[in-house]
Amino acid sequence: MTPSWRKPAGMLAILLLILVWCVAIASLSGTIGRWHGAAQLLFYLVTGIVWIAPLKPLLRWMETGRWR
Protein backbone atom coordinates (compact mmCIF):
# COMPACT_ATOMS: atom_id res chain seq x y z
CA MET A 1 0.00 0.00 0.00
CA THR A 2 1.54 3.31 -1.07
CA PRO A 3 1.13 6.42 1.07
CA SER A 4 -1.28 9.04 -0.19
CA TRP A 5 -0.13 12.54 -1.14
CA ARG A 6 -3.28 13.91 0.54
CA LYS A 7 -1.95 13.46 4.08
CA PRO A 8 1.18 15.62 3.71
CA ALA A 9 -0.80 18.17 1.67
CA GLY A 10 -3.51 18.18 4.33
CA MET A 11 -0.98 18.63 7.12
CA LEU A 12 0.50 21.61 5.32
CA ALA A 13 -2.99 23.03 4.78
CA ILE A 14 -3.74 22.67 8.51
CA LEU A 15 -0.51 24.43 9.45
CA LEU A 16 -1.24 27.19 6.94
CA LEU A 17 -4.78 27.56 8.32
CA ILE A 18 -3.43 27.90 11.87
CA LEU A 19 -0.80 30.43 10.79
CA VAL A 20 -3.27 32.59 8.84
CA TRP A 21 -5.82 32.42 11.66
CA CYS A 22 -3.25 33.40 14.31
CA VAL A 23 -1.99 36.34 12.25
CA ALA A 24 -5.54 37.51 11.56
CA ILE A 25 -6.57 37.37 15.22
CA ALA A 26 -3.29 38.86 16.48
CA SER A 27 -3.65 41.76 14.05
CA LEU A 28 -6.90 42.65 15.82
CA SER A 29 -5.28 42.68 19.27
CA GLY A 30 -4.93 46.47 19.36
CA THR A 31 -8.64 46.91 18.86
CA ILE A 32 -9.65 44.00 21.05
CA GLY A 33 -7.34 45.20 23.83
CA ARG A 34 -9.53 48.28 24.32
CA TRP A 35 -12.64 46.19 24.94
CA HIS A 36 -13.97 45.21 28.35
CA GLY A 37 -12.32 42.09 29.80
CA ALA A 38 -15.48 39.97 29.50
CA ALA A 39 -15.88 40.94 25.83
CA GLN A 40 -12.24 40.03 25.18
CA LEU A 41 -12.73 36.68 26.88
CA LEU A 42 -15.80 35.94 24.77
CA PHE A 43 -14.05 37.04 21.55
CA TYR A 44 -10.97 34.88 22.16
CA LEU A 45 -13.09 31.95 23.30
CA VAL A 46 -15.20 32.06 20.13
CA THR A 47 -12.27 32.62 17.77
CA GLY A 48 -10.34 29.87 19.54
CA ILE A 49 -13.12 27.41 18.70
CA VAL A 50 -14.22 28.66 15.25
CA TRP A 51 -10.94 27.80 13.52
CA ILE A 52 -11.68 24.11 14.12
CA ALA A 53 -14.77 24.15 11.82
CA PRO A 54 -12.86 23.77 8.51
CA LEU A 55 -10.82 20.89 9.89
CA LYS A 56 -13.56 18.25 9.69
CA PRO A 57 -13.95 18.37 5.88
CA LEU A 58 -10.19 18.70 5.47
CA LEU A 59 -9.52 15.64 7.64
CA ARG A 60 -12.25 13.72 5.79
CA TRP A 61 -10.61 14.63 2.48
CA MET A 62 -7.22 13.51 3.78
CA GLU A 63 -8.65 10.09 4.67
CA THR A 64 -11.08 9.41 1.82
CA GLY A 65 -10.34 11.86 -0.99
CA ARG A 66 -13.90 13.20 -0.82
CA TRP A 67 -15.12 16.46 0.73
CA ARG A 68 -18.59 15.11 1.65
The residue extents of the domains of the chain are 10-64
Phi, psi of 52 (to 5 degrees): -75, -25
Q: What global pTM score does this model have? A: 0.77
Contact 6, 62 (CB under 8 A): yes
Three-state DSSP class for residue 66:
coil
Q: For 2-60, how does the pLDDT look when each residue is reduced to its tens digit (9 = 90+)?
A: 768 888 999 999 999 999 999 999 999 999 999 999 999 999 999 999 989 888 889 98
Q: Please give the pLDDT value at position 67.
A: 73
pLDDT-derived band at 1, boundaries 50, 70, 90: low
Measured over all CA atoms, what is the biggest interatomic distance in the chain, rounded to whole angstroms?
A: 55
The pLDDT of residue 3 is 66
Instruction: Give the torsion sign (CA, 17, 20, 23, 29).
Output: negative
